[in-house]
Amino acid sequence: MSIVKSFSVGNGDMFYIKHGSSNFTIIDCCMGDENKKEITDELILEAKGKDITRFISTHPDEDHIHGLDYLDDNMKILNFYCVKNEATKADETLSFNRYCDLRDGDKVFNIHEGCSRKWMNQSGDGRGSSGINIIWPDIDNNDYKDALLKAKNGESPNNISPIIKYSLDDGPTILWMGDLETEFMETIEPYITLPDIDILIAPHHGRDSGKVPENWLKEMAPKSIIIGEAQSQHLNYYDGYNTITQNSAGDIIFDCTIDKAHIYVSNDNYKVNFLVNEYKTTFTNYIGTLNV
């Protein structure tokens, strides 16, 4: 069993995975003065008793790293995962400077397609793995190298985002794509093999500019797509697919078990019609179960 939570943080991304093994994973950070203490306190509480805590950064845009300095000061990030990069910014915020400190420090692990690491996707020393695998980037791909160069020159780092797969044994598979853009995804399509998944976190907060190509969707066959909190006029609602829209749902919790994800949201008025009602009460505002 595991718990995956997507925080409702406005125009930004922040998640955690409370693994069934002795692992705890945070993916991205977007916290403001109004919620940074509450979210950080929750992370500290949920990670209590876990031996391994890691932070995975998809890319250093402010809506994915804002508040990273506060989180690091209060939770101490000892395992920082990101793609190897030299991204620069014309406007260097406290969060970006902390990102660079962690990226260039001695606690960093650079992720790429097929990489392996103890307790990320390897068991050892009596501890189970986290079930996290990296599908992309191929660091030898020329289009990816071009995205790295653009980020180094201060342009958008969206397309240096990795593709991250989390799988629970005999349970749900969830995929993150950071802020990959549609045009870039179409360009690298011949060079990537995508897995079957159950839940897709739509890239670029669900924006049209990050619409996942139809060939990718057919290959992955997601049972549900989570659409982020971009402004509604910029969203792509993925017609023909079962969706949960975080703008309306608020925080989303996936209680992952064998063959199922029981789903809860913070908005008690939010409903969807594609889930099965198994009358779960582990958390508040249960909206149904996704059979996988």
Which stretches of the chain are DSSP H helices?
36-47, 62-65, 68-75, 94-103, 142-152, 182-188, 214-220, 246-249
**Rounded CA gap, 137 and 130, in Å?**
20
Q: How big is the CA angle at 28 (ends 23 and 32), to the nearest 5 degrees?
A: 120
Inter-CA distances, 14 with 23, 167, 289, Å = 17, 18, 22
Q: What is the pLDDT along the chain (292 residues), one digit of tens a residue?
A: 899 999 999 989 999 999 999 999 999 999 999 999 999 999 999 999 999 999 999 999 999 999 999 999 999 999 999 999 999 999 999 999 999 999 999 999 999 999 999 999 998 887 888 999 999 999 999 999 999 999 999 999 999 999 999 999 999 999 999 999 999 999 999 999 999 999 999 999 888 999 999 999 999 999 999 998 877 777 788 999 999 999 999 999 999 999 999 999 999 999 999 999 999 999 999 999 999 9
**Rounded CA gap, 55 and 167, in Å?**
17
- The pTM assigned to this predicted structure is 0.96
SS3 161: coil
How far is C-alpha 47 from the chain's CA centre?
17
Domain ranges for the chain:
2-291
Q: What one-character DSSP code corresponds to residue 213?
A: P
CATH pick for 2-291 out of 3.60.15.10, 3.40.50.720, 3.30.200.20, 3.40.50.620: 3.60.15.10
Long-range contacts of 146-149, Cβ-Cβ distance < 8 Å, separation of 24 or more = 147/184, 148/83, 148/85, 148/86
**Rounded CA gap, 261 and 88, in Å?**
39
Determine contact, residues 168/131, Cβ cutoff 8 Å.
yes
Inter-helix orientation angle 36-47/68-75, to 10° = 40
